[in-house]
Amino acid sequence: MSADYVHGYHEREAQRLQDQAATLVDLLHGDTSYPPGHRVLEAGCGVGAQTVALASRSPQAQFTSLDISEDSLAVAREAVARAGLDNVTLHRADILALPFAPGTFDHVFVCFVLEHLPQPAAVLRALRRVLKPGGTITVIEGDHGSTFFHPDSAAAQRAIRCLVDLQARAGGDALIGRSLFPLLTEAGFDAVRVSPRMVYADASRPGLVDGFTRKTFTAMVEGVRPAALEAGLMAADDFDRGIAALHRTTAAAGVFCYTFFKAVGIEPAA
């Protein structure tokens, strides 16, 4: 099951995902680790950008990472091999048709996946089926409505809105980060807790300016330019002014902020 992936599957997008993962690894995964011997399902691993970070941080846990795209899995296999990891198994599978028995996994990890799917609640219920009683689920999603920056720009805000609208047309939700608590509680998980993870980038943090503002977020918005123009969401000159304004936030006086949301829940004990 999947909506159309609004960012596409080309090599540039794979590189953007790798840049994002490398830049945000401590912010998003610094408090995620799994005990030796535990089985972890990573649902929707994509090109393996998060897989390498997770498996490297928990080298004695066993990871099963799956995705519906064989092209993405091919890139993920290369990334896992390059990292020298021997605790990851990769599978092609649909999240709504998981080829695992109930209670197979101690933990489930989902990152930047629900935003692309038309039925996130159904996905969470499917993941519960393969999780052991007392096991945990971790879900990380962004929220494009959390974006603000200096200098501000109406054109930049409209370009970002193009991405939100295109993702909605494809069946996804680019604002899903704010909905994680109700989604997980309504899916039946216990003790759900959500923590916001803000990226704040200014000239004193050049790594974030380059890795996130420029190579992750602005590149993501710029990547939907053809689709936005084709859909008539914005005129070409206006869109390009928006992208230029986003790049201005990477200058010496620029500031860029964005918030991710990380949720953790527990499968109720039998």
Q: pLDDT tens digits for 77-114?
A: 999 999 999 999 999 999 999 999 999 999 999 999 99
Dihedral of CA 168/172/175/181: which sign? positive
Q: How confident is the model at residue 9, as a pLDDT? A: 47
C-alpha triplet 34, 60, 105: angle, nearest 5°:
55
Burial of 195 (0-12, 13-18, 19+ CB in 10 A): exposed
- How far, in Å, CA of 9 to CA of 266, rounded? 33
Residue 12 has pLDDT above 80, yes or no: no
Residue 15 has pLDDT above 60, yes or no: no
Which pair of tokens denotes residue 97? 């048709």
Number of other CB atoms surrounding residue 49 within 10 Å: 25
Mean pLDDT of 175-193: 97
Q: How confident is the model at residue 8, as a pLDDT? A: 46
- How far, in Å, CA of 27 to CA of 20, rounded? 11
Mean pLDDT of 166-195: 97
> Largest Cα–Cα distance in the chain?
58
Mean pLDDT of the chain: 92
Burial of 69 (0-12, 13-18, 19+ CB in 10 A): middle
Q: How many Cα atoms are found within 13 Å in the side-chain-facing hemisphere of 9?
A: 14
Residue spans per domain, the chain: 11-148+171-200+258-266
Residue 204 has pLDDT above 70, yes or no: yes
C-alpha triplet 38, 39, 43: angle, nearest 5°:
140
- Taking each helix axis as running N to C, give the angle between helix 154-169 and helix 236-248, from 0 to 180 degrees, rounded to the nearest 10: 110
Q: What does R_g of the chain's alpha carbons equal in angstroms?
A: 18
pLDDT in tens, 114-155: 999 999 999 999 999 999 999 999 999 999 999 999 999 999
Q: How confident is the model at residue 18, as a pLDDT? A: 60
Which pair of tokens denotes residue 251? 């200058």
pLDDT in tens, 215-268: 999 999 999 999 999 999 999 999 999 999 999 999 999 999 999 999 999 999
Residue 2 has pLDDT above 50, yes or no: no
Q: Which CATH architecture has domain 11-148+171-200+258-266?
A: 3-Layer(aba) Sandwich (3.40)
- How far, in Å, CA of 125 to CA of 129, rounded? 7
- Classify residue 212 by its DSSP letter: I
Tell how far CA 159 is from the center of its chain: 20
pLDDT category of residue 25 using cuts at 50, 70 and 90: confident
pLDDT category of residue 5 using cuts at 50, 70 and 90: very low
Q: How confident is the model at residue 56, as a pLDDT? A: 94
pLDDT category of residue 1 using cuts at 50, 70 and 90: very low
Residue 14 has pLDDT above 90, yes or no: no
